[in-house]
Amino acid sequence: MTNSNKVLKLGLPKGSLQDSTLDLFAHAGFHFSVQSRSYFPSIDDDELEAILIRAQEMAHYVQLGAFDVGLTGKDWIIETDADVVEVADLVYSKASMRPVRWVLAVPESSPVKTVKDLEGKHIATEVVNITKKYLAANGVNASVEFSWGATEVKPPDLADAIVEVTETGSSLRANKLRIVETILESNTKLIANRQSWEDPWKREKIESMALLLQGAINAQGKVGLKMNAPKSALEKITSIIPALRQPTVSHLANDQWVALEVIVTEKIVRKLIPELKRAGAEGIFEYDINKLID
Protein backbone atom coordinates (compact mmCIF):
# COMPACT_ATOMS: atom_id res chain seq x y z
CA MET A 1 0.00 0.00 0.00
CA THR A 2 1.27 3.41 -0.94
CA ASN A 3 0.59 6.85 0.46
CA SER A 4 1.70 8.49 -2.74
CA ASN A 5 -1.68 10.12 -3.40
CA LYS A 6 -2.32 11.13 0.17
CA VAL A 7 -2.33 14.86 0.78
CA LEU A 8 -2.56 16.99 3.90
CA LYS A 9 -4.35 20.33 3.41
CA LEU A 10 -2.85 23.13 5.46
CA GLY A 11 -4.44 26.53 6.10
CA LEU A 12 -2.00 29.39 6.69
CA PRO A 13 -3.11 32.78 8.03
CA LYS A 14 -3.08 35.54 5.39
CA GLY A 15 -2.32 39.09 6.47
CA SER A 16 -0.36 40.46 9.41
CA LEU A 17 0.72 37.00 10.61
CA GLN A 18 1.66 35.69 7.17
CA ASP A 19 5.34 36.62 7.08
CA SER A 20 6.15 35.52 10.61
CA THR A 21 4.24 32.27 10.07
CA LEU A 22 6.09 31.42 6.86
CA ASP A 23 9.31 32.35 8.63
CA LEU A 24 8.49 29.96 11.47
CA PHE A 25 7.74 27.16 9.02
CA ALA A 26 11.06 27.84 7.26
CA HIS A 27 12.91 27.48 10.56
CA ALA A 28 11.00 24.25 11.07
CA GLY A 29 12.22 22.98 7.67
CA PHE A 30 9.18 23.75 5.49
CA HIS A 31 10.21 26.28 2.85
CA PHE A 32 7.11 27.71 1.20
CA SER A 33 7.34 30.14 -1.66
CA VAL A 34 4.49 32.52 -2.37
CA GLN A 35 3.94 34.03 -5.80
CA SER A 36 2.71 37.58 -5.72
CA ARG A 37 -1.12 37.62 -5.66
CA SER A 38 -1.36 33.84 -5.26
CA TYR A 39 -3.05 32.26 -2.27
CA PHE A 40 -1.40 28.89 -2.86
CA PRO A 41 2.16 28.80 -1.50
CA SER A 42 4.23 26.07 -3.12
CA ILE A 43 6.50 23.62 -1.29
CA ASP A 44 8.60 20.66 -2.39
CA ASP A 45 6.46 18.12 -0.57
CA ASP A 46 3.86 16.34 -2.68
CA GLU A 47 1.97 15.33 0.42
CA LEU A 48 1.29 18.90 1.49
CA GLU A 49 -1.05 21.54 0.02
CA ALA A 50 -1.18 25.01 1.58
CA ILE A 51 -3.75 27.76 1.23
CA LEU A 52 -3.63 31.29 2.61
CA ILE A 53 -6.87 32.29 4.32
CA ARG A 54 -7.79 34.94 6.89
CA ALA A 55 -7.14 33.88 10.50
CA GLN A 56 -10.69 34.83 11.39
CA GLU A 57 -12.11 32.15 9.09
CA MET A 58 -9.54 29.41 9.69
CA ALA A 59 -11.23 27.46 12.47
CA HIS A 60 -14.53 27.48 10.58
CA TYR A 61 -12.97 25.90 7.50
CA VAL A 62 -10.88 23.41 9.52
CA GLN A 63 -14.06 22.29 11.28
CA LEU A 64 -15.80 21.83 7.90
CA GLY A 65 -12.84 19.76 6.69
CA ALA A 66 -11.84 22.18 3.93
CA PHE A 67 -8.41 22.00 5.60
CA ASP A 68 -6.98 19.11 7.63
CA VAL A 69 -4.87 21.42 9.72
CA GLY A 70 -4.41 25.16 10.17
CA LEU A 71 -2.90 27.96 12.24
CA THR A 72 -5.06 30.56 13.92
CA GLY A 73 -5.54 32.28 17.26
CA LYS A 74 -7.41 30.85 20.22
CA ASP A 75 -9.55 34.01 20.01
CA TRP A 76 -10.97 33.17 16.61
CA ILE A 77 -11.58 29.55 17.56
CA ILE A 78 -13.77 30.83 20.38
CA GLU A 79 -15.40 33.65 18.38
CA THR A 80 -16.46 31.23 15.65
CA ASP A 81 -17.33 28.52 18.19
CA ALA A 82 -15.47 25.95 16.11
CA ASP A 83 -15.17 22.29 17.08
CA VAL A 84 -11.56 21.39 16.24
CA VAL A 85 -8.60 19.52 17.78
CA GLU A 86 -6.14 21.92 19.39
CA VAL A 87 -2.85 20.17 18.56
CA ALA A 88 -0.26 22.59 19.90
CA ASP A 89 0.30 26.08 21.28
CA LEU A 90 2.76 28.07 19.19
CA VAL A 91 3.99 31.00 21.25
CA TYR A 92 6.41 32.98 19.15
CA SER A 93 8.97 35.24 20.68
CA LYS A 94 8.55 37.77 17.86
CA ALA A 95 6.24 40.73 18.35
CA SER A 96 3.74 39.63 15.75
CA MET A 97 2.71 36.36 17.36
CA ARG A 98 3.28 36.64 21.08
CA PRO A 99 0.28 36.10 23.34
CA VAL A 100 -2.24 38.89 22.95
CA ARG A 101 -5.12 40.11 25.09
CA TRP A 102 -8.61 41.21 24.13
CA VAL A 103 -9.46 43.97 26.55
CA LEU A 104 -12.45 46.11 27.41
CA ALA A 105 -11.34 49.73 27.10
CA VAL A 106 -12.96 53.13 27.64
CA PRO A 107 -11.81 56.74 27.33
CA GLU A 108 -9.38 57.77 30.06
CA SER A 109 -11.97 60.20 31.42
CA SER A 110 -14.87 57.74 31.38
CA PRO A 111 -16.52 56.94 34.74
CA VAL A 112 -16.68 53.23 33.78
CA LYS A 113 -14.69 51.17 36.31
CA THR A 114 -15.87 47.59 35.64
CA VAL A 115 -17.90 45.78 33.03
CA LYS A 116 -20.91 46.23 35.32
CA ASP A 117 -20.92 49.97 34.53
CA LEU A 118 -21.71 49.27 30.87
CA GLU A 119 -25.42 48.58 31.36
CA GLY A 120 -27.30 50.13 28.45
CA LYS A 121 -24.12 51.32 26.75
CA HIS A 122 -22.86 50.83 23.18
CA ILE A 123 -19.75 48.69 22.53
CA ALA A 124 -17.81 48.39 19.24
CA THR A 125 -15.64 45.34 18.57
CA GLU A 126 -14.40 42.90 15.94
CA VAL A 127 -15.27 39.97 18.25
CA VAL A 128 -19.00 40.34 18.66
CA ASN A 129 -19.67 36.83 20.01
CA ILE A 130 -16.88 36.84 22.59
CA THR A 131 -18.07 40.23 23.79
CA LYS A 132 -21.73 39.21 24.03
CA LYS A 133 -20.84 36.08 26.01
CA TYR A 134 -18.71 38.10 28.40
CA LEU A 135 -21.48 40.62 28.98
CA ALA A 136 -24.01 37.81 29.54
CA ALA A 137 -21.69 36.06 32.00
CA ASN A 138 -21.53 39.34 33.92
CA GLY A 139 -25.26 39.98 33.71
CA VAL A 140 -24.86 43.16 31.72
CA ASN A 141 -27.21 44.35 28.97
CA ALA A 142 -25.42 46.43 26.34
CA SER A 143 -25.52 46.72 22.56
CA VAL A 144 -22.55 45.27 20.66
CA GLU A 145 -21.77 46.46 17.13
CA PHE A 146 -19.31 44.94 14.67
CA SER A 147 -16.37 47.24 13.95
CA TRP A 148 -14.50 47.00 10.61
CA GLY A 149 -11.34 48.39 12.14
CA ALA A 150 -9.83 51.58 13.56
CA THR A 151 -11.79 50.59 16.64
CA GLU A 152 -9.55 52.54 19.03
CA VAL A 153 -10.69 55.81 17.52
CA LYS A 154 -14.38 55.24 18.20
CA PRO A 155 -14.78 56.19 21.86
CA PRO A 156 -16.28 58.46 22.98
CA ASP A 157 -18.14 59.69 19.90
CA LEU A 158 -18.87 56.47 18.02
CA ALA A 159 -19.01 54.05 20.98
CA ASP A 160 -18.99 54.14 24.79
CA ALA A 161 -16.48 51.30 25.06
CA ILE A 162 -14.60 48.91 22.82
CA VAL A 163 -13.26 45.38 23.03
CA GLU A 164 -9.95 45.40 21.22
CA VAL A 165 -6.83 43.27 20.88
CA THR A 166 -3.54 44.56 22.28
CA GLU A 167 -0.03 43.36 22.98
CA THR A 168 1.59 46.21 24.83
CA GLY A 169 -1.31 48.60 25.27
CA SER A 170 0.60 51.37 23.52
CA SER A 171 -1.95 51.85 20.74
CA LEU A 172 -4.71 52.17 23.34
CA ARG A 173 -2.70 54.70 25.33
CA ALA A 174 -1.95 56.67 22.16
CA ASN A 175 -5.71 56.97 21.66
CA LYS A 176 -6.24 57.98 25.29
CA LEU A 177 -8.10 54.81 26.23
CA ARG A 178 -7.98 53.03 29.57
CA ILE A 179 -8.12 49.24 29.96
CA VAL A 180 -11.00 48.19 32.22
CA GLU A 181 -10.73 44.42 32.13
CA THR A 182 -9.03 41.67 30.18
CA ILE A 183 -11.64 39.49 28.52
CA LEU A 184 -9.48 36.86 26.84
CA GLU A 185 -5.81 35.93 26.44
CA SER A 186 -4.99 34.38 23.12
CA ASN A 187 -2.05 32.85 21.24
CA THR A 188 -1.54 31.05 17.98
CA LYS A 189 -2.55 27.39 17.86
CA LEU A 190 -2.11 24.53 15.44
CA ILE A 191 -5.58 23.08 15.02
CA ALA A 192 -6.80 19.95 13.21
CA ASN A 193 -10.05 18.68 11.80
CA ARG A 194 -11.52 15.93 14.04
CA GLN A 195 -11.80 13.40 11.23
CA SER A 196 -8.32 14.08 9.88
CA TRP A 197 -6.99 13.54 13.40
CA GLU A 198 -8.40 10.01 13.37
CA ASP A 199 -6.59 9.15 10.11
CA PRO A 200 -3.26 7.58 11.22
CA TRP A 201 -1.29 8.87 8.21
CA LYS A 202 -2.58 12.43 8.63
CA ARG A 203 -2.15 12.35 12.38
CA GLU A 204 1.49 11.34 12.12
CA LYS A 205 2.14 14.09 9.61
CA ILE A 206 0.39 16.66 11.79
CA GLU A 207 2.29 15.53 14.87
CA SER A 208 5.61 15.74 13.03
CA MET A 209 4.72 19.26 11.92
CA ALA A 210 3.85 20.23 15.50
CA LEU A 211 7.13 18.74 16.76
CA LEU A 212 9.19 20.71 14.22
CA LEU A 213 7.31 23.99 14.71
CA GLN A 214 7.82 23.72 18.45
CA GLY A 215 11.47 22.81 17.86
CA ALA A 216 11.91 25.98 15.83
CA ILE A 217 10.20 28.14 18.49
CA ASN A 218 12.21 26.38 21.18
CA ALA A 219 15.50 27.29 19.49
CA GLN A 220 14.72 31.02 19.44
CA GLY A 221 16.81 32.81 22.02
CA LYS A 222 18.86 29.66 22.68
CA VAL A 223 22.54 29.21 21.92
CA GLY A 224 25.09 26.45 22.23
CA LEU A 225 28.06 26.80 24.58
CA LYS A 226 31.13 24.62 24.39
CA MET A 227 34.17 24.61 26.64
CA ASN A 228 37.02 22.55 27.97
CA ALA A 229 37.34 21.93 31.71
CA PRO A 230 39.73 20.16 34.05
CA LYS A 231 38.08 17.08 35.49
CA SER A 232 38.66 18.51 38.95
CA ALA A 233 36.34 21.45 38.14
CA LEU A 234 33.62 19.42 36.49
CA GLU A 235 31.32 19.21 39.44
CA LYS A 236 31.48 22.92 40.14
CA ILE A 237 30.93 23.86 36.50
CA THR A 238 28.00 21.49 36.18
CA SER A 239 26.40 23.06 39.22
CA ILE A 240 26.63 26.53 37.70
CA ILE A 241 24.91 25.63 34.45
CA PRO A 242 21.09 25.94 34.63
CA ALA A 243 19.58 22.45 34.77
CA LEU A 244 17.46 22.32 31.56
CA ARG A 245 19.30 19.12 30.90
CA GLN A 246 22.70 17.82 31.93
CA PRO A 247 25.55 19.02 29.72
CA THR A 248 27.08 16.61 27.25
CA VAL A 249 30.49 15.74 28.72
CA SER A 250 32.94 14.02 26.41
CA HIS A 251 36.37 12.57 27.11
CA LEU A 252 39.40 14.22 25.58
CA ALA A 253 42.81 12.97 24.55
CA ASN A 254 44.29 14.59 27.61
CA ASP A 255 42.48 12.59 30.26
CA GLN A 256 42.76 15.31 32.90
CA TRP A 257 40.36 17.41 30.83
CA VAL A 258 36.83 16.99 29.48
CA ALA A 259 34.78 18.84 26.87
CA LEU A 260 31.36 20.16 27.86
CA GLU A 261 28.57 21.18 25.53
CA VAL A 262 25.26 22.65 26.60
CA ILE A 263 22.31 24.53 25.12
CA VAL A 264 21.27 27.54 27.19
CA THR A 265 19.08 30.62 26.97
CA GLU A 266 21.02 33.40 25.26
CA LYS A 267 19.93 35.94 27.87
CA ILE A 268 21.80 34.22 30.70
CA VAL A 269 25.07 33.84 28.80
CA ARG A 270 26.32 37.23 29.95
CA LYS A 271 26.07 36.05 33.57
CA LEU A 272 27.12 32.46 32.91
CA ILE A 273 30.38 32.93 30.99
CA PRO A 274 32.20 34.97 33.68
CA GLU A 275 31.20 32.35 36.26
CA LEU A 276 32.35 29.46 34.07
CA LYS A 277 35.65 31.21 33.45
CA ARG A 278 36.15 31.73 37.20
CA ALA A 279 35.29 28.10 37.83
CA GLY A 280 38.12 26.98 35.55
CA ALA A 281 36.56 26.55 32.10
CA GLU A 282 38.72 27.43 29.08
CA GLY A 283 38.20 27.87 25.37
CA ILE A 284 34.56 28.79 25.94
CA PHE A 285 32.69 29.61 22.76
CA GLU A 286 29.10 30.26 21.76
CA TYR A 287 27.30 29.27 18.54
CA ASP A 288 23.79 29.58 17.09
CA ILE A 289 21.26 26.78 16.68
CA ASN A 290 18.20 26.48 14.43
CA LYS A 291 16.00 23.86 16.03
CA LEU A 292 15.90 22.28 19.46
CA ILE A 293 13.86 19.20 20.28
CA ASP A 294 14.15 18.13 23.87
Sites for its own copies among residues 230-269 (CB under 8 A): 234, 245-246, 248-254, 258-259, 261, 263, 266-267, 269
CB of 17 to its own copies, least distance (A): 13
Cβ-based nearer residue to its own copies, 182 or 290:
290
Cβ-based nearer residue to its own copies, 58 or 103:
58
CB of 243 to its own copies, least distance (A): 13
CB of 109 to its own copies, least distance (A): 17
Among the listed ranges 24-32, 102-110, 161-169, 190-198, the one in contact with its own copies (CB under 8 A) is 24-32
Q: Which residues contact 138 (CB under 8 A, 6 or more apart)?
A: 115, 116
Site residues (CB under 8 A) for its own copies, limited to 176-215: 204, 207-208, 211-212, 215
x/- track of binding to its own copies for residues 48-87 (CB under 8 A) = ---xxxx-xx---x----x---------------------
Nearest to 124 by CA among 71, 198, 175: 175
- The secondary element (H helix, E strand) that includes residue 165 is strand 161-166
CA distance 205 to 212: 11
Site residues (CB under 8 A) for its own copies, limited to 82-141: none
Taking CB under 8 A as the criterion, the residue among 99, 169, 224, 230 binding its own copies is: 224
CA distance 52 to 271: 43
CB of 60 to its own copies, least distance (A): 9
Q: Which residues contact 86 (CB under 8 A, 6 or more apart)?
A: 74, 77, 189, 190, 191
CB 188 within 8 A of CB 15: no
- β-strands 143-146, 122-125: how paired? parallel
CB of 115 to its own copies, least distance (A): 24
- The secondary element (H helix, E strand) that includes residue 150 is none
Among the listed ranges 36-44, 84-92, 136-144, 194-202, the one in contact with its own copies (CB under 8 A) is 36-44
If one asks whether residue 164 binds its own copies (CB under 8 A), the answer comes out as: no
- β-strands 222-230, 257-265: how paired? antiparallel
| Total number of residues that touch its own copies (CB under 8 A) | 75
Site residues (CB under 8 A) for its own copies, limited to 273-292: 273-274, 277, 282-292
CB 290 within 8 A of CB 218: no
Cβ-based nearer residue to its own copies, 59 or 135:
59
Q: Which residues contact 239 (CB under 8 A, 6 or more apart)?
A: none
- The secondary element (H helix, E strand) that includes residue 63 is helix 55-64
